[in-house]
Amino acid sequence: MNDSDHMFTLQESATAYAAAAQHMLGDDATFLENNASAIPIFVSMLFQSLEISIKSAGVESGLFTTQEARSRQNTRSGHGIKELASLAEEKLGGENFNAIILALSFPNRGSRVEEFLGEMICGSALEKTRDSYATRRLGYGEVRAGDFALIYPVSEWVSAVKQTAVSLPTAIHILSEWKVSESKSKHFAIWLGKK
């Protein structure tokens, strides 16, 4: 089965995971407060959404292939959020994850999306969370104290991940243009404002 045989697009899947987390959170977060054992699943859904968003942005822009994104050695079978972002950075010639974070968050500038994505991709506070997610311990609820963390305010975190998924077409366009640009800039070239 190839990616075109899938029932849903990567963007639809990324958006669905974030929407499910948003629904689980509810209006006042009482569900999570009253059901602590659901928190790892909630966090896992947010990481799943971001994983799919990075893969979608990278593959659909031609930045990397599906096979590269699923590499057991380089991306932890495609579940390593930091490793996927690192693959994108390498292809863009960026550094410190700025390129991929900027591309994914650009459609939502002025919000805290960039900050939340940075925390999820490379923030020290979520280092153990990324590992728990990549090894699937988080999704299966096989966690111990300290294996995962939340970013506050949680409702803004969920919104940031969902906005990233919803805005994937813009991120894909940016990455596509960036990839073929002759500029060696580690930031957007001047073509961005002209499209």
pLDDT tier, 31 (very low <50, low <70, confident <90, very high otherwise): confident
- Say if residues 84 and 75 touch (Cβ distance below 8 Å): yes
The number of angstroms, rounded, from the C-alpha of 53 to the middle of its chain's C-alpha atoms is: 5
pLDDT at 77 over 80: no
Is 195 within the bounds of a domain?
Answer: no
Is 3 within the bounds of a domain?
Answer: no
Q: How far apart are CA 123 and CA 82, in angstroms?
A: 10
Is 2 within the bounds of a domain?
Answer: no
Is 163 within the bounds of a domain?
Answer: yes
Would you state the pLDDT for residue 187?
62
Task: Using CB atoms within 10 Å of the CB of residue 122, give its burial: 0 to 12 exposed, 13 to 18 middle, 19+ buried.
Answer: middle
Range 16-19 contact pairs with CB under 8 angstroms and sequence separation of 24 or more: 17/45, 17/46, 17/48, 17/49, 17/52, 17/165, 18/45, 18/46, 18/49, 18/158, 18/161, 18/162, 18/164, 18/165, 19/162
What is the average pLDDT score of the chain? 87
Is 189 within the bounds of a domain?
Answer: no
Is 126 within the bounds of a domain?
Answer: yes
pLDDT at 51 over 60: yes
For residue 44, the enclosing domain spans 10-184
Is 133 within the bounds of a domain?
Answer: yes
The domain total for the chain is: 1
Would you state the pLDDT for residue 2?
53
Give the residue-averaged pLDDT of 108-137: 92
Is 154 within the bounds of a domain?
Answer: yes
> Per the confidence metrics, is the pTM higher than 0.75?
yes
pLDDT at 195 over 60: no
